[in-house]
């Protein structure tokens, strides 16, 4: 299954993230793929809102991984936000402990997830960001029904 969303501004990208986040369940892994500046972190902000996370979501480009405690429907649902932009070699993923971060109790969202395809489970959800000529973004989501 594949869904397509069009975002014309950052607010629409946050709303798209919220819509996706409402469907995500603990154990889900979402790989975000696309060029620099296409809106990946902005989308994660919307996912965080859907998971009841109040604190600001920042790109973990230098820390590589952030954990945000969330709550949905009276149940704890944590978000693990990973940014692999600076990763150059697969052995760095082993050092990061990527496989351990993919837990059944958390929603894991990975920016630049295409760098880790060999480490990700086969049921990983994928969201591809494409820049359109008018500056809008096309979001192509695979594996999740909206």
Summarize pLDDT for 17-69 with one digit per residue, the tens: 999 999 999 999 999 999 888 899 999 999 999 999 989 998 876 778 899 99
Summarize pLDDT for 92-117 with one digit per residue, the tens: 777 776 666 777 789 999 999 998 88
Pairing of strands 106-111, 29-33: parallel
pLDDT at position 14 is 97
Rg (the chain; Cα; Å): 14
Q: Superfamily for 2-142?
A: P-loop containing nucleotide triphosphate hydrolases (3.40.50.300)
d(CA 137, CA 99): 30
Domain boundaries, the chain: 2-142
pLDDT at position 118 is 83
């Amino acid at each position: 299954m594949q869904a397509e969303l069009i975002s014309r501004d950052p607010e629409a990208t946050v709303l798209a993230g919220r819509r996706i986040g409402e469907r995500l369940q603990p154990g889900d892994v979402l790989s975000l793929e696309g060029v620099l500046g296409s809106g990946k972190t902005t989308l994660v902000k919307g996912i965080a809102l859907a998971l009841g996370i109040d604190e600001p979501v920042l790109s973990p480009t230098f820390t590589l991984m952030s954990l945000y405690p969330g709550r949905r429907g009276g149940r704890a649902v944590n978000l693990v936000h990973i940014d692999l932009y600076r990763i150059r070699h697969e052995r760095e993923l082993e050092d990061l402990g990527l496989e351990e971060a993919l837990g059944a109790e958390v929603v894991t969202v990975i920016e630049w997830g295409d760098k880790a395809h060999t480490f990700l489970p086969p049921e990983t959800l994928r969201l591809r960001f494409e820049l359109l000529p008018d500056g809008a973004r096309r979001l192509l989501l695979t594996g999740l029904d909206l």
